[in-house]
Chains A and B, each alone.
Chain A
């Protein structure tokens, strides 16, 4: 240990020597000390120590220690650390002990703003940072679950409890009509697929999230920034002693809520009672309802009591381990981590196992003018899918599966297995043994990810840095599928092997200049960036195996290959950008930031190769004005205003503007089947990005001796030239749909965040964070132009209800004047005497003139399902060495169409299908029609996360830190909604439509965090 310390000391001294030589010529003295938390005496790592009024300084190591050489004349040290109040310490000794007080305002917190950083108090745009100590804990398999409900305006929805399902993430609503997630930037690398990027990341490697909420902040990402930007920073090594961190947890999850289906005994009672009454309504066709009901009861009842949802589910185990080693000397630091997450799904044969490895290092050299950062990381995720989930290149699954439909419909009086051990099978529409289906179908995917990046910066002269950055990322997803022959089904066994690859190159050359003169300071950044995305892959399938044990490992061993069983593809996208930013600060009172980005994309049509994305924002820190200095309760007050343009190009395909020929199916020619070719895509030289024009006004404030801080933002955004598949007139066009720019929509809202220290004393503290956001989306028009032809859409049918007898059952629309995906439904007006549904009949003036059994389109009403507001409330308590936190998240005013309940709550499906108990009592005796009857209030309040932790006081030289915790996820939901869960997809054409979701889970976790 000693020689190492010595070396570190020497290195540090040399470093400081050079440093001080370049800044001052004076006699120096050396000060040592330790910086700790005022509350729990925990050492503070990475705290900055500077001589007051000078730029030279150092940071504390892992034990909070520092050594600094200062001019003999220095009197005061300025000590700062992220998350703590700044403190000026008089140099009254050679060995200082500094106690920092935790800050609630974090005004000096460093925020990542894209191609650079800024102090929170200097921000002119709307940016929110969430750091590790604020994260949700427990069963966290997707990193973004850590910040669910923590950021106003950032809506994170997890539909169902499928470990392989993607989260729906929307920042200030979506730009395009179908909805797009924000751009995600991980350690400076902007990848093209949000979910794919997120899914490679181990949650325990994340240091912080910075959310760029308004256009002035996101405009630096130009044509990719319109949906907002989430910047993720991973943990880095810190100079000092080698530190080993271990984090481990083990948890168990169960289904949190089940549908109220008929049990076997309920079914046995319902057939001779309720079903019989229903048969008796139609005596002409069922002259003897009693005997028909009895015959059905006898024939179908196999004398068992089975709950099929129980049969296909299980308590699911979650385990997570991660080990990280970090350390370094003054010029070099590193961190290496290995993580493993194994999350079983509560549904049999579903789950994922993820292994991650990450290495980062930072090297300084050449008089500290050179800085080199290396990143290497890799991950492998093995996924077990449910039978009907598909391997998609975009994302993983939508969280639903037809297997749940089977479990709901299969009769509770059917046994799981026959006496001989084979599965009991009834094959029919909606009927198949659900457990057999789960066990028989082999559907797996392995996602491999490798990434390396290097960033080199060199300071040519004081304040001017030039650098370059390069990153290579590779995805390789391997999909395996096998479905055996089920004798009762007479199907042909099928096997598939597929491989999807993506290679992404990101590179840039960047320059930065900072200069202060008097009360003025400027910071100028310029970047040239090049991105290239290449996709390729193949699919091969075959049928007719007679040896099922081969699975899909020998596709040649089959008797039946069809024309669409093999395929391959390849495509590429290039994106070139020039961007710049100027930040100007006058006297810490007036702040102005101007961004400009020029993007060229190979996705855009020839007439629009390049796009410009400017933004400007300004802030006035009123509290630094003389006239406000004397207000005792006001610590900080800043007004912000911004305007900017951002673009969205994610939903344009690689070659969407070009005229392309592709294969068009086979044709018959004299006994042969040959491949035909035709135009697969019309050209659209006018194709370009969507533009979001955003305006934002904000106030940041800190009050009451820094105990209450908050941010209020109001925004008004307009998205133009929205990409959409527009309707083309036929004749003369080849197809009736084309991707073109046209429609316009607005997003408006208010976002408020409050952070307060309610109680703070030696033994007890209570800190609360609250945020609330509103969002109002309106389509203002759906008009466009394609090759000179005006396109007008007055209404596009969008979402639909599905199930038996529900083809063409559209229930939501895209229509000017309404939110995207507004419901368009008949109004339920009760039942007639025989249990047939009645609907309100509207006349041409929009007045209800009675009821009708046969409603028309003009009897439909528009209903906005979107929430009035979404909110989150987090409370953190500490008492001595205990800490307790809980996070509640809510959605108010949301409506959900219960498609699952519509399908199941109907007596007409008896006797051969099981139904909901509600179906015996709702009185409906015909095919239920989509109407407002099935549209339910789905506001909810969810206890997302509650954690109780204990920090051991460590005197050991080996173990520096030890914490144990017990966490619960989704402890309870308060909601009037009767489906399995009110939290469902809020994007795409299935938005706010509840259908066959994977069950939500409730989890309990025990975990340990330890540092050696």
Chain B
């Protein structure tokens, strides 16, 4: 036996040696060298343009849009959430170009862009071309425009790269107005080739209505982005959606955000999540809930006790406003109705919207701040949630149209705000009387109540000139250049053609 083995080995050694002496091409087993051969492969190859979006609602983009606004603060509680000062810097507008969320947001945006550029390059070169090539390209370019909208809004003067393989020396900042023009043009050019159906086949997909909603956002902020307002264009885009009859106001506000919110008639574009089936990444419940809140919601993991809302914001809600139920305030109870206590400092688990300091090691401070359950917590998961995240919904469109009318002195903003579908207006479903008059201050407050924790607060505050204001706790008036984030230091290092935004160290 041994001898046979030896002979075999000997023979193998010599034969292998002779026949494969310089053949070094490795066989690839578990990765793919050749793809895009069938319609199913084309669909699966285009899909990463969407799957990348799952990084949007829990991560840097959320933090930059919410924690720098008056809506969300992440105070340092004892040892927790100091994290090298990252959260305090966001609240107090003290970030520098090395801030981790600023780098992450940039990476998120430009990874999404490069991914789509590569897919566009590949799809465009397929022989034979896919039958719905124009539709695929329009869809991809519209998602790319959404990424560029994020860059336009957060960083302003950013490089616009439309092809996958480009010479680095051509990658330079464009002025914000040029980025605006690029996004506008991309959306308008590709809109006719998008689908207009609103049904299962377009759920979680880019449609004409997504494109109109994004155009409305773009035009609403045109004055901020370019110095030139585009109120009429904003109103037209909103009207296209409202008048299409494809969407209506969801009678129960929270049905838009519940765990199984696929049936919402109001959500225009959602990013689908289903943590238990592999669509993970939404973890707002972990970031905001207290460690012992898992007893309230039956989570299979201990939450992190971080994100919360301060009293000044919370108090904008009328006590009868049903939308105020998005916040947990006061004594918390277990599923069986027992009052809960903090297991480590043995104080009652009682959330208090008063956040008196940005950092405190006081035991009671562990309970500071109102917690958001706007997106209903998902029981029995180890962190990630199953709710689909609404990027655009009709409620926002109505508020945007009213604001454009009010600012341009056209139309009837009060009537717009009181717009009814399914027998409700956004006010009446909240249990509040319809508006009889409106001014900009009240409109911003209504946006606070309707759109809280939906990632638009920074954008709104800048448009209303309130982003830089002093806030409680411990935020002074910030410098005017803080309305734009800096180009990340690491990107300036890697590409010497990039220039820094005004006010930040080059």
Contacts and interface: CB of A to CB of B under 8 A. Distances in A.
Contact of B32 (A372, A468, A662, A925): A662
Contacts, number: 307
Interface string A532-564: 100010000000000000000000000010111
A730 B86 contact: no
A912 interface: yes
Name the residue in A279, A728, A805 with the highest tally of chain B Cβ atoms < 10 Å from its Cβ.
A805
A758 interface: no
B166 A668 contact: no
Nearest to A574: B24
Contact of B81 (A532, A728, A805): A805
B23 to A, nearest CB: 8
Contact of B300 (A489, A505, A730): A489
B491 A729 contact: yes
Given A528-B21, A927-B79, A664 B51 contact: yes
B302 A427 contact: yes
Nearest to A676: B47
Given A282-B361, A572-B26, A673-B277, A667 B12 contact: no
Interface stretch (A111-119, A305-313, A335-343, A806-814): A806-814
Given A299-B346, A728-B494, A655 B41 contact: no
A927 B361 contact: yes
Given A470-B12, A731-B113, A806 B83 contact: yes
A571 B29 contact: yes
Interface string A577-621: 000000000000000000000001111000001000000000000
B132 to A, nearest CB: 14
B48 interface: yes
B382 interface: yes
A674 B41 CA distance: 11
A730 B106 contact: yes
Contact of B82 (A573, A677, A805): A805
Name the residue in A428, A679, A789 with the highest tally of chain B Cβ atoms < 10 Å from its Cβ.
A679
Nearest to A660: B31
Contacts of B129: none
Interface string A843-880: 00000000000101100000000000000000000000
Interface in B57-99: 76, 78-86, 96, 98
Interface string B458-477: 00000000000000000000
A805 B363 contact: no
B28 interface: yes
B107 to A, nearest CB: 5
Nearest to B11: A470
Interface string B340-381: 001111110000000010011111110000000000000010
B76 A805 contact: yes
B277 A731 contact: no
A454 interface: yes
A405 to B, nearest CB: 13
B10 A456 contact: yes
Given A677-B45, A734-B111, A927 B76 contact: yes
B48 A678 contact: yes
Interface in A654-680: 654-655, 658-662, 664-671, 673-680
B310 to A, nearest CB: 16
Interface in A465-482: 468-472
A734 B115 contact: yes
B48 A676 contact: yes
A894 to B, nearest CB: 26
B111 A670 contact: no
A282 B362 contact: yes
A794 interface: yes
B30 A568 contact: yes
B33 interface: yes
Contacts of A489: 300
A491 B278 contact: no
A214 to B, nearest CB: 29
Contacts of B278: 562-564, 665-666, 673
Interface of A: 278-279, 282, 284-286, 292, 295-296, 299-300, 372, 374, 376, 426-429, 431, 452-454, 456, 468-472, 489-492, 505, 507-509, 528, 530, 532, 536, 560, 562-564, 568-574, 576, 600-603, 609, 654-655, 658-662, 664-671, 673-681, 727-736, 789, 791-794, 803-810, 854, 856-857, 906, 908-909, 911-913, 925-929
22 contacts: A284-B356, A285-B362, A428-B302, A452-B5, A469-B13, A507-B13, A568-B30, A661-B33, A661-B45, A662-B31, A670-B203, A673-B277, A676-B51, A677-B48, A680-B31, A730-B494, A803-B79, A805-B79, A808-B83, A908-B78, A911-B345, A929-B82
8 shortest interchain CB distances as A-B pairs: A912-B344, A563-B278, A470-B13, A676-B47, A507-B13, A570-B29, A285-B362, A805-B82
Given A668-B204, A729-B491, A909-B79, 6 more contacts: A286-B362, A300-B346, A431-B344, A491-B301, A677-B41, A678-B45
